[in-house]
Amino acid sequence: MILKKITTILFLVVLAIHCGPNGDKNSSTNQAVLLAIATPQDPGLSGIYASILAGGNNNGGGGAAAYSSASQSAISPFLLFEQTQDCGLGGTIHIKGDIDFTTDPVTGVNTSEYTGLTQTFSTCRRVFPVLDAENPTTMEMTINGVLTMDALSRVTMEPNPTPERAVMNVNETSRIRSNNYSVNGFLYPEFDLTFVRNPSQLTLENFGNPDTATITADETVHVSGTMGGQIVNTVLKYKVKFKAF
């Protein structure tokens, strides 16, 4: 992909050189085209939200972790957590911090609390959803950087979950912050954002096979906080299916 991009840029450079003498208007147009291709595009809030889906809540915003937990008869809470996860298309996420995980034996609600959790993304490549109700789609993202997360997540499994299909309802608040986070080469300005997922329903399918496992997310996400010194306060709604790992 990188080689293809470089080849495209070189082609346009040659084209711009040959077309330059035709006038300032053509020259300016060519320069604008080159700049658009060479400059990384801003993935928007979807790029930051990808960090929640990718790492903080174990590959799928609590999906994989919650399914695994619900399949066990006894859950022991733990505090110290450190793990390196492979990303589906390459690279890794290193996760370290305090996590308290419990399951209510009566209601079956899985509660996860993250305190000062750090996520280090090293060329982590995966396909993530784009949070756009009018154009529900996915995007391949390459993530680098370090961010810190505090979160409280409550997940309720619908009856009779299986590896082939499990449905869960999520109520979660996650605060994430970073000053060196980038997606697809775009470096975000320093941000401190809180994502509230409610209502959120995740449908997990084919979790017996990581190669074909998928998550269908139907969510309303409220985002607030600051980014680049600007106040952020918006609501994002989307429904899309994407690879779980």
Q: Is the pLDDT of residue 6 over 70?
A: no
Q: Which residue has the higher pLDDT, 239 or 61?
A: 239
Number of neighbours of residue 101 by Cβ within 10 angstroms: 19
Query: pTM (2 decimals)?
Result: 0.77
CA 145/CA 202 separation, integer angstroms: 27
Query: CA dist 23 to 16, 20, 27, 142, Å?
Result: 11, 6, 6, 39
CB of 73 within 8 A of CB of 55?
no
Q: Which residue has the higher pLDDT, 243 or 72?
A: 243
For residue 49, the model assigns a pLDDT of: 93
Q: Which residue has the higher pLDDT, 150 or 74?
A: 150
Mean pLDDT, residues 210-217:
90
Q: Which residue has the higher pLDDT, 71 or 140?
A: 140
Q: Is the pLDDT of residue 25 over 80?
A: no
Domain positions in the chain: 2-38, 45-243
Encode pLDDT of 179-193 as tens digits. 999 999 999 999 999
CA 20/CA 203 separation, integer angstroms: 54
Q: Is the pLDDT of residue 13 over 70?
A: no
